[in-house]
Amino acid sequence: MKNNELETKTELQEESLLKSTVGRRSFLQYAGASAAALALVAAGCRKDRNFTDPMAGVTLDFKDDFGVLNYAYALEQLEAAFYIQVANSNPSGFTTAQKAYFQDVQFHEIAHREFFKKALGTAAIGSLEVNFSAVDFTSGASVLATAKTFEDLGVAAYNGAGVRLKETAYLVLAGQIVSVEARHAAYVRDQISNGTFADLGTLSAFGAVDANGLDGALTPDKVLPLAAPFIKTKINVVNL
């Protein structure tokens, strides 16, 4: 089967999964986020921006909210691709409950990704090509370690980018999503070592809970290099 046929088949499968499952299992009911979605769609229609150059990757322009939203969209693309592959693999040592959990999380991340894609409209960057060569999807330990990296990084990324958003509706939306990412992070940590779901006390690249009980926050210039090993597409950053 040719590559374009495979891509089309994958897209159709994802769309089918999203339509059949997001409604009953996803954290994010589209109806509940309708106000923010309408605001994003309306803004996207007013600004026809071409962020994508096939020869040079994608560009994140942080001069306004669209750059921040596309930044979140890029990270959600990465997470969705990872969890789709996990859900279609059979990691050794995974219990039935763990398999069910990762099935659910793939729907969460597909919902995140598709929400941003639809809401941004013509302002959305293109699809990213991922690189998971360092991940052993047959190993439960490898999958959990990578999931921990993505979830901790995702939480820190949303926390660090929120200050750049000017529209209140977008900030509220980011807060709704980061709270779900934090739930994912807590679960994954507990699967690796029971009782460590809230343990960010050890300093890491992703920050740590401080004396005030606040979670880690990383600015985009710190997040993107940490995500880069998992992304083949070149990401250009301006106005950061």
- For the chain, the C-alpha Rg in angstroms (whole number) is 17
Q: Tell me how far apart the alpha carbons of residues 71 and 92 are, in angstroms, rounded to a whole number.
A: 33
CA nearest neighbour of 78 among 154, 10, 156: 154
Residue 237 is predicted with a pLDDT of 94
Could you give the C-alpha distances from 59 to 20, 134, 201, 237, in angstroms and in order?
33, 25, 35, 6
Examine residue 52 and state whether it is found in any structural domain, yes or no.
yes
76: which 2 tokens? 């959600």
Question: DSSP class of residue 32?
Answer: G
Which sign does the torsion angle of CA 129, 133, 136, 138 carry? Answer: positive
What residue numbers bound the domain in which 94 lies?
27-238
Examine residue 98 and state whether it is found in any structural domain, yes or no.
yes
Q: What is the number of domains present in the chain?
A: 1
Residue 198 is predicted with a pLDDT of 60
Examine residue 145 and state whether it is found in any structural domain, yes or no.
yes
Examine residue 8 and state whether it is found in any structural domain, yes or no.
no
Say how many Å lie between the first and final Cα of the chain, rounded.
Answer: 42
Examine residue 7 and state whether it is found in any structural domain, yes or no.
no
For the whole prediction, is pTM greater than 0.85? no
With left for phi above 0 and alpha for psi between -120 and 50, is residue 121 left, alpha or beta? Answer: left
Residue 12 is predicted with a pLDDT of 47
What are the φ/ψ torsions at residue 57 (nearest 5 degrees)? Answer: 85, -145
Examine residue 10 and state whether it is found in any structural domain, yes or no.
no
Residue 210 is predicted with a pLDDT of 63
CATH (domain of 234)? 1.20.1260
Q: Tell me how far apart the alpha carbons of residues 145 and 234 are, in angstroms, rounded to a whole number.
A: 25
Residue 180 is predicted with a pLDDT of 92
Q: Please write down the long-range contacts of 9-15, taking CB distance under 8 Å and 24 or more positions apart.
A: 14/84, 14/110
Per-residue tens of pLDDT for the chain, all 240 residues: 444 544 444 454 444 444 444 443 444 444 344 444 544 544 544 444 544 454 579 999 999 999 999 999 999 999 999 999 999 999 999 999 999 999 999 999 999 999 999 989 999 999 999 999 999 999 999 999 999 999 999 999 999 999 999 999 999 999 999 999 989 988 998 898 876 666 655 445 555 556 666 788 899 999 999 999 999 999 999 998
Q: Could you tell me the strand order of the sheet in which 57-61 lies?
A: 52-53, 57-61, 235-238
Residue 8 is predicted with a pLDDT of 47
